[in-house]
Amino acid sequence: YKDTADHLYITPADVLSLGTKYYFRVAVKDSTGKWSNWSATASFTTPTNCVAQPPPPLPHVPECRDGIDNDGDGKFDYVSRNPINPDPGCSSINDDDERNPEFREI
């Protein structure tokens, strides 16, 4: 990592090995082109294990407003989202089931 007024350098994660101690020194160049003396040696150790974090989950979109024919009847979404060919199984844009309700005679 190098951070100056003009530049920022970050070492990519796949360049360093896990569980390894790294040593470094720094020197700076001033506006006249002169270099400083080297700093004292410093070090850091990378973690022994590092698991990539999965991306956050996408927010859930109810079936009756997701733009998909979820029940395979050739129609999709609630009438306010699809006024031409709405899915009769949708009772609102928050309905999460496009299937048509089943009625049984008792």
- Tens of pLDDT, residue by residue, the chain (106 residues): 445 555 666 777 778 898 999 999 988 888 898 999 999 999 999 888 877 777 788 888 999 988 889 999 988 888 887 788 888 888 888 999 988 776 677 7
Q: Extract the tokens encoding 5.
A: 């007024």
| Residues 93, 95, 97, 100, CA torsion sign | negative
Give burial (CB, 10 Å; 0-12/13-18/19+) of 69. Answer: middle
The full set of domain ranges for the chain reads: 1-48, 58-99
Of 35, 95, 36, 40, nearest to 65 by C-alpha is 95
8 Å CB contact between 47 and 18: yes
Which value, in Å, is the radius of gyration of the alpha carbons in the chain? 30
Task: State which amino acid sits at residue 72.
Answer: G
| pTM score | 0.42
